[in-house]
């Protein structure tokens, strides 16, 4: 049975592990193999440990667990891109990742709903997210769940300095 709960600092390693495994599976063929091979659970764990210890205002993270093992997570908060920060009613879905062995079981849909609930609880009335433009499964998932294209894109730097073209999506939370 899947359970959802707020993430704690003790979840940092499990979140990092899910993130690395998910990137290696979801982005195979979309990012260079050496970039995916170079992803580091300890580096991601350090990042998530800091995020979960010193939470910025209006941010949050939720984990999905099966038998107390973290199998996915989502994180939310105010926009990170300066151009979007002017709107205090706009929140972002920063990340939503699942361990590859639990894909297509409805857990992503549960995490997505929980993430949107957390955005609403933080006072946001609409949401945005950035998604890799070539990640067709993610785009289909978000469109099925009510996200629409804004027509905006950005060039981001991913692991190893890899250039990532991302699309901006929008979701009404009211």
Domains defined for the chain, CATH in brackets: 2-172 (3.40.630.30)
Neighbours of 33 (CB within 10 A): 10
Q: How far is CA 89 from CA 17, 42, 130, in A?
A: 32, 34, 17
Is 0.75 topped by the overall pTM? yes
Residue 134, Cβ density class (10 Å: 0-12 exposed, 13-18 middle, ≥19 buried):
middle
In the chain, % of residues over pLDDT 90: 92
Mean local confidence (pLDDT), 126-151: 97
Mean local confidence (pLDDT), 74-102: 96
The residue assigned the tokens 């010193």 is 54
Contact 37, 23 (CB under 8 A): no
pLDDT at residue number 56: 87
Mean local confidence (pLDDT), 136-143: 97
- pLDDT tens digit sequence for 51-77: 999 888 999 999 999 999 999 999 999
Could you list the beta-strand ranges (E) of 59-113.
Answer: 60-66, 69-77, 90-98
Cα(5)–Cα(114) distance, integer angstroms = 9
């Amino acid at each position: 049975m899947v359970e959802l709960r707020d993430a704690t600092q003790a979840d940092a390693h499990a979140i990092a592990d899910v993130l690395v495994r998910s990137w290696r599976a979801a982005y195979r063929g979309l990012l260079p193999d050496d970039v995916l091979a170079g992803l580091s659970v300890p580096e991601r764990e350090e990042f998530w440990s800091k995020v979960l210890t010193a939470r910025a205002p209006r941010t949050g993270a939720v984990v999905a667990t099966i038998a107390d093992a973290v199998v996915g997570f989502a994180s939310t908060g105010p926009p990170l891109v300066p151009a979007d920060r002017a709107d205090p009613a706009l929140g972002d879905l920063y990340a939503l990742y699942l361990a590859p062995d639990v894909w297509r079981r409805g857990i992503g849909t549960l995490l997505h709903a929980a993430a949107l609930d957390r955005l609403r609880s933080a006072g946001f009335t609409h949401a945005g997210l950035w998604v890799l433009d070539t990640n067709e499964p993610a785009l289909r998932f978000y469109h099925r769940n009510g996200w629409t294209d804004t027509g905006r894109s950005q060039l981001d730097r991913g692991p190893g300095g890899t250039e990532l073209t991302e699309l901006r999506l929008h979701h009404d939370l009211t």
